[in-house]
Structures are given as C-alpha cells and as structure tokens.
Amino acid sequence: MPRPEIGKWGRRFPAQILSLVAFNGYFWRGGGKYLCLPVLNCYACPIGTVACPIGSLTAFALARRIPFYILGFLGLIGLAVGRAFCGWTCPFGFFQDLLYRIRSFKFRLPRAANALKYALLVVLALGLPLILAGGKRAGSEERITSEQSGALDYCSLVCPVGTLEGGVPVLAASAEVRAQASWRTWSKIGIAAAILGLAVVARRSFCRALCPLGALMALTSRVSVTQLHTEDKLCTRCMRCVKVCPTVARHLPFKEFRTEAGAECVLCLDCVRNCPEKGALSARFAGKTISVSEGKSRE
C-alpha cells in the first residue's frame, strides 16, 4: 500500500474554517435546527446552528416515526454532491484534518474497517433505539428521550462530537454535573480520546470506520452526479492521487477499477489538486468539468 501523504490543502481549508463558524455561530442559530445538513456537529452544543442528522434519526427511531424528511433531504444532497459535505464542511472532518498534521507515526486503516460504520448506523443509530423504545411509545408526537430507552444509542455511547461539544463543556462548567457523572460519561470521554488519538496517526479514520452519517451518505455518493474522471491517455500511474486520498477511496485508474473512487470518496479534490499531470484528473458535475488537475505538483 502506498505511503500516506498530506498533500496540498487548497481552497478546502478556508471553506472548512467558514463552515466551522457557520455551524457553530451562536448568534444566528435561530430556526436553523430545522435543517439536517450532512455534517457531524452536535446540536446539543449551545452554539450549534443546525440539527445533527444522526441525533435526529435516532429521535425518529425512538418515536417510531419514519424520517421521510431527513432521508429525502439527505438523499437529494447525496445525489447532487455525494459526500462533498464530509470533505469540505464537516467540522469534525476538519478537526481530524488538523490532527493528522501533527508529526507522528502514520498508517492507513485497512479497507475492511470501512464496513464498521454501516454496522454502527444500522445497530446503534437506528436499530437499538427502535427496539428499546417500543414499549414506551404513547403516540408518534410524543418524544421518547434516549435516557428513557436505556441510552443505548450512537449519541449516548460513541459520538465523540457530542462528547467534545456537548459533554466536556458541561462537565467543565458545572461541579454539580461532574459529581453526577457516571462510568458511562467517563467511558465516552475515553472513546472520544481514543478516536482523536487515532485521527493523529490514521487520516480521517473516524470518517472511514466510525461515522454513521458517512455511511448514510455513502449510499448515494456512488450514484452522485458529481464524480471524478481520469483521462487514461494523460495518466502516468504515478500513484500520487492514491497517496494523498484521505479516505483511501481512490483506485488506480486501470480498466478493472471503473469506479474512480466510489462510496468512500469525500470529494475533497486533494487528488485533483495534487495530480502532477495537467488535465489527467478532473471532477465533473453532471458531465461538466468543475475542477481539473493543473500539473503544478511535480516533485
């Protein structure tokens, strides 16, 4: 497997900064929490501006409501831009990108790890809440809290974003809350610390293996109208695109890999920016080129 590289960040860095501010802009939060944008940003955080799709899906499962709105909205976004939100706007994706810049031993998670996020989506984000809240439901409008169902869901057990944005600030601010903290609280902090540590050594490891939202968006990103395209005649098989791909999504553009990147591609376009051959690699929206390699990255 090629050695991982960081590569050029390009316009993605300012886009991520702006998104971080936009999704955590306390002063304009208002009714933004109607929106379930495909970014992992805890809505329990006082400064959060939009609703978390995973938290909302779990809430729907707890109430035994079918989340038509969330599935339709995220499906349309996925068809249009695939997982571009993961690459360009997700605050936790940005945080992982920053952590990976820390000098340390680096490695890549095996491709098999990608499957874990689908299991987390089906079991912890949807399945267990759906099953455990069954006996407590009085009507579809009644909101069943996670605690009432035993708090055995993704947000309560795993989500590092909830821990960082919702849990840790509350613990830090209130001695009363700290006194009430259970083993669950500390285990979640431990999980968050482990995920952050893994992000330092394995690039976008959380997105690849543990993000149920990434799993959901991956279902439509394969058929999205925004795709990568390689000009076979110009590609020299230098492997630079494979080395800089943060999610190990990029395949070599050989005939046997007709999908250029597939479900794991977050459309960060690091491969396009870092391609040393002018015009060899491009990103296309509905067949029209929106970004093309300029060949400025020769080493």
CA 42-85-64 angle, to 5 degrees, is 50
Q: Which helix (H) or strand (E) holds 180?
A: helix 175-180
Interaction between residue 23 and another protein (CB under 8 A) = no
What is the token pair recorded at 268?
């960060």
Q: Is the dihedral of CA 67, 70, 74, 76 positive or negative?
A: positive
Interaction between residue 31 and another protein (CB under 8 A) = yes
Interaction between residue 225 and another protein (CB under 8 A) = yes
Pick the stretch among 38-46, 100-108, 252-260, 270-278 that binds another protein (CB under 8 A). Answer: 38-46
| Burial (CB count <10 Å: 0-12, 13-18, 19+), residue 215 | buried
Judged by CB under 8 A, how many residues of this single chain contact another protein? 38
Identify which of residues 225 and 239 has a Cβ nearer to another protein in the complex: 225
Q: With H, G, I as helix, E, B as strand and everything else as coil, classify residue 182.
A: coil
**Window 43-102: residues binding another protein (CB under 8 A):** 43-46, 51-52, 55-56, 59-60, 63, 65, 67-73, 75-76, 79
Pick the stretch among 16-24, 164-172, 187-195, 254-262 that binds another protein (CB under 8 A). Answer: 164-172
Q: Which residues pair with 229 in a beta bridge?
A: 282
CA 229-72-81 angle, to 5 degrees, is 20
Q: Rounding to the nearest 10 degrees, give the CA dihedral for residues 94, 96, 98, 102.
A: -170
Identify which of residues 102 and 173 has a Cβ nearer to another protein in the complex: 173
Considering the complex, what minimum distance in angstroms separates the CB of residue 41 from another protein? 11
Q: What does the alpha-carbon distance between residue 167 and residue 4 come to, in Å, rounded to a whole number?
A: 33
Q: Closest Cα to residue 50, out of 66, 72, 68, 70?
A: 70
**Window 280-299: residues binding another protein (CB under 8 A):** 286-287
**Window 127-156: residues binding another protein (CB under 8 A):** 141, 143, 145
Residues in touch with another protein (CB under 8 A) = 31, 33-34, 36, 43-46, 51-52, 55-56, 59-60, 63, 65, 67-73, 75-76, 79, 141, 143, 145, 166, 169-170, 173, 220, 223, 225, 286-287
